[in-house]
Structure 1
Amino acid sequence: MRPSTALSFVSIAASLLLEGCAAAPSVAVFGAAFPDWLFCIVGGVLGTAIVHVVLGKRGKRALLAPLALSYPALTAALAMAFWLLFFPH
């Protein structure tokens, strides 16, 4: 291994390890710090509930065939979308 390659590897590894030294992503609510992902999960669950109600009123709930698989996946997708929209760190 050439010295420049080894130096590059060490600098990349060090930068990845130092990434954990960043401030914790949290939101202060009434003096208490809550993690950002908690708000995103709540938004994902509420978004999935809204999708459930809308599809139920239109009679198209069968589009999400295995509900035990599609609702958790939809919750995760909406939570990640909320994370990207509201917390772009």
Structure 2
Amino acid sequence: MNGTPRSVQGVFVPALLLMTGCGRAPSFDILGSFFPAWLVCLVVASLLTAVSRALLSRYVEIVWPVLVYPSLTAIFAFALWFAMFR
């Protein structure tokens, strides 16, 4: 035995297996400062939502903008994340 109680090993081994996905987060170097990738995806998604708002307002009347625009932002952010990092 290595001196570690069996009950402690029973707690730490599953915890270590769950932490295998915790790695270095992707980040971008923008003007010498590192930004997390999710923040970059959120900013780009916000810009895409603004562009789509301008296009949609010409052709369609948005009934529930409080739900539509945050949903568009989330869809764009998730799509960017999956396209660039998965």
Compute the TM-score of the two structures, normalised by the length of structure 2.
Answer: 0.73
Q: Aligned equivalents of 1:41 and 1:69: distance in 2?
A: 17
Q: What is aligned with 1:18? A: 20
Q: Compute the RMSD of aligned alpha carbons.
A: 2.1
How many residues were matched structurally? 77
Matches within 5 A, 1:1-89: 13-20=15-22, 22-58=23-59, 60-62=60-62, 65-88=63-86
Q: Displacement of 1:51 after TM fit?
A: 1.2
The residue matched to 2:25 in structure 1 has which SS? Answer: coil
Runs of 4+ in 1 over 3 A off after TM superposition: 10-13
Q: Aligned equivalents of 1:31 and 1:43: distance in 2?
A: 19
Q: Which structure's residues are more often helix, by fraction?
A: 1
Shift of the 57–11 alpha-carbon distance from structure 1 to 2, 3 Å rule, reads same
Q: Aligned equivalents of 1:17 and 1:66: distance in 2?
A: 40
Q: Displacement of 1:17 after TM fit?
A: 1.9
Read off the aligned partner of 1:52 and give its amino acid letter: R
5+ residue gaps, structure 2, are 1-9
Query: In 2, are the aligned partners of 1:44 and 1:78 still within 8 Å (CA)?
Result: yes
Query: In 2, are the aligned partners of 1:41 and 1:75 still within 8 Å (CA)?
Result: yes
Query: In 2, are the aligned partners of 1:52 and 1:61 still within 8 Å (CA)?
Result: no
Read off the aligned partner of 1:61 and give its amino acid letter: E
Q: Displacement of 1:14 after TM fit?
A: 2.6
Structure label with greater radius of gyration: 2
